[in-house]
Amino acid sequence: MNRAAGQDAVAILARVAVVLTLAFLLLPIAFGLLGTVLPAFGYLPALGGTTFGLEIFRALFATPGLAAAILLSFVTGLVATALSLGLTLVFVAGFAGTPVMARLQHLLSPLLAVPHAAAAFGLTFLIAPSGYLIRLVAPLSGIDRPPDILILNDPLGLSMIAGLVIKETPFLFLVTLAALPQVDLASARRLAASFGYGPIAGFVYLLWPALYRQIRFAVYAVIAYSTAVVDVALILGPNLPGTLATRLVQWMNDPDLSARFLASAGAVLQLTVTLSVLILWRGAERAGGRLLRFCRDGGFRFAHDGALSILSLISVGAIGGTFFAGIGLLALWSVAGLWQFPDLLPQSLTLRSWMSALPRIRDPLLTTLAIGLISTLAAVLLSIGCLERETATGRSGGERSLLLLYLPLIVPQITFVFGLQLLVIGSGSQNRFLALVMVHLVFVLPYVYLSLAEPWRALDRRYETIATALGRTRLMVLLSIRLPMLLRPIMTAAAVGFAVSLGQYLPTLLIGEGRIETITTEAVALASGNNRRVIGVYAMVQTLLPFLAFTFAALLPAFLHRNRRDMGL
């Protein structure tokens, strides 16, 4: 291969990767939204709808309890996001740069990898009236029967908000930590302290505006997720009536065909609800900015914020503690024999639940692995291509490309995956597996790209400059310098991608049409049987898989680079 050809090959591949990435991200969303919007206005020839009109929306707004469902989605989404971000902000502001931070980072990182459903189940085992917290206090207060109080599925959605905060706070926390190196924390801290500002106020005045700009798309993704979530809402949310998204899923499965139109119109409504929360949030951003400037210019120092810091530390500790206690309870239930209230431990331990589940876990497990590995591999290759293109052109695309990447996370899943399902059915394609891998890719790709981008850009380019000066082609530089040096972040990004694929519930359910079973669809389906032991088994499998992926991601570079001490670490 001569040198020019080597240059061209990489350049062409990289350009192709950019085009493919855009296509894989945007086409499913565009077609999916189209497939949702057209039936909402009455157009779906396969089901006899050939004219456009507003009758379906009229029927939608005539469904009983719709206003309550909309309000629930709106409020739970908004409150969950505000709480998660508020906690993150106060905690990072209070503790950034301290050893507490580093320790909690290790504590909270695993939370990201565990699917929402497993975390939600763990929470139910803890806070239900027959749950562990009440069992703990039962002997002290003489309770021998679970109290008849409404904790789970409460009409206000409080337990659902709690479930969301437990998962979203670590997400925002880690995104914020990733953005933190881009601001000058140490000198800002010194400056604020020397003028007598409290650590939180100083952080918020000097660093937060720049930091928030970096993480705001992640915040929007949390809004979209929280307003349109299905699995957490089914497990923890109110059901009389449920949130808008859970009603949508009911309509999507209704034997009455006209309900498909209703579901489409409902999906458009869901999009509107999510957009409204986003618009409201944008307004709040501006108001918050004004308040911040007012406090800053007014010279409010908030010097004594120790209590607030401690409070945020307790809250974040409680989130971690709740999560790990929940996982522990899942593990315990999976091996429990008879375990009655208010016993703190099962009367007997048995592997019965595992033995009966394991043979049936095998196939969904293989499917999960296949879909996860293929979509992750594709996402890693595409991300490397895009980043290589960025390195070559020196253009990162800025905000706009970041928004494109976040788009699949900001447009609620349910609104375009349903349209995709109608398209897949309409196409008569039997190859659901391929369709499913492509839909998973839509969600895996952004996470892989985002977690790979920073280390990619941070790599000292002088290594490559030297290699190029020594006459190596770009392909060789890429293969022998950049990729090996970035093996660890690449593996971490892949593990993140795999965890994302593993956690996908709704796309797998809708596109796979129940014929493609993964661990997650199995877990949620079996949850409808509400057998704690079975839920325990599946949730443990759901939890163990991402941990194995991350462990593998950590061990492989260490093994491959065992003779290069500085790279193996």
Partner 1 sequence: MRFMKAILAAGLIAGISGLQAIAADAVPKDWPAIEKAASGQTVYFNAWGGSENINAYLEWVGGEMQARYGVTVVQVKLDDTASAVAKVIAEKAAGKNAGGSVDLIWINGENFVSMKQQGLLMTPGWATSLPNWRYVDVENQPTILTDFTEPTEGLESPWGGAKMVFFYDSARTDAASLPDNAVQLLDWAKAHPGRFSYPAPPDFVGSSFLKQVLSEVIDDPARLARPVDEQRFERDVEPLFAYLDQLHAVAWRSGKAFPQNYPDMKQKLADGELDIIFAFNPAEASAGIRAGELPDTVRSFTFSGGTLGNTHFVAIPYNANAREGALLTANFLLSPEAQLRKQDPAHWGDPTVLAMSKLPQADRAAFAALDLGVATLTPDKLGPVIAEPHASWMERIEAEWRRRYASGN
Give the residues lining the site for partner 1 (CB under 8 A).
Answer: 46-48, 64-65, 67-69, 129-130, 144-146, 148-150, 152-155, 238-241, 253-257, 260, 336-341, 348, 350, 352, 356-357, 359-360, 425-426, 428, 513-515, 517, 522, 525-526, 528-534
CA distance 1 to 18: 24
Q: In the complex, what is the shortest distance from the CB of residue 541 to partner 1, in angstroms, rounded to a whole number?
A: 14
Q: Which is nearer to partner 1, 182 or 253 (CB)?
A: 253
* Helix (H), strand (E) counts: the chain: 26, 2
Q: Which of 554, 546, 498 has the alpha carbon at shortest distance from 379?
A: 498
- Candidates 391, 568, 354; CA nearest to 478 is 391
Nearer to partner 1, 390 or 522 (CB): 522
Give whichever of 105 and 427 is closer to partner 1, judged by the CB atom: 427
Q: Is 7 exposed, middle or buried (0-12, 13-18, 19+ CB in 10 A)?
A: middle
CB 253, min distance to partner 1, A = 4
The CB-of-134 to partner 1 minimum distance in angstroms stands at 10
Task: Report helix, strand or coil for 344.
Answer: coil
**Residue 491 CB neighbour total at 10 angstroms:** 20
Task: Provide the minimum distance between the beta carbon of 214 and partner 1 in the complex, in angstroms, as a whole number.
Answer: 39
Q: Return the number of the residue (97 or 241) whose C-beta is nearest partner 1.
A: 241
Nearer to partner 1, 32 or 489 (CB): 32
3-state secondary structure of 129: coil
Least Å from the CB of residue 217 to partner 1: 33
- CB of 241 vs partner 1, minimal distance in Å: 5
Q: Among residues 240 and 469, whose Cβ is nearest to partner 1?
A: 240
SS (H, E, C) 272-295: HHHHHHHHHHHHHHHHHHHHHHHH
Minimum CB distance to partner 1 smaller for 119 or for 336: 336
Closer to partner 1 by Cβ: residue 448 or 524 = 524
Contact status, residue 249 vs residue 415, Cβ threshold 8 Å: no
| Single-letter code of the amino acid located at 8 | D
Residue 542 CB, nearest distance to partner 1 (Å)? 17
Closest Cα to residue 249, out of 413, 464, 441, 22?
413
- Determine the angle formed by the axes of helices 413-427 and 244-252, rounding to 10 degrees: 10
CB of 371 to partner 1, least distance (A): 18
> Which of residues 97 and 346 has its CB atom nearest to partner 1 in the complex?
346
| Cβ nearer to partner 1, comparing 131 with 557 | 131
Nearest-approach distance from CB 340 to partner 1, in angstroms: 6
Dig out the tokens for 258 from the structure. 């006209």
Q: What share of the chain is helix, strand, coil (3-state, %, to 5)?
A: 80, 0, 20
User: Are the CB atoms for 13 and 431 separated by under 8 Å?
Assistant: no
50 in helix, strand or coil? strand
Exposure of 340 in the CB half-sphere (CA atoms within 13 A): 2
Shortest Å, Cβ 142 to partner 1: 14
Residues 6+ apart with CB under 8 A from 224: 274, 278, 409, 410, 411, 412
Contact 7, 474 (CB under 8 A): yes
* For residue 241, cis peptide bond before it (omega within 30 degrees of 0): yes
What is the crossing angle of helices 398-410 and 3-40, to 10°? 40
Rounded least distance, CB 346 to partner 1, Å: 9
- Is 153 or 401 the residue whose CB approaches partner 1 more closely? 153
**Measured between alpha carbons, how far is 186 from 204 in angstroms, rounded to an integer?**
14
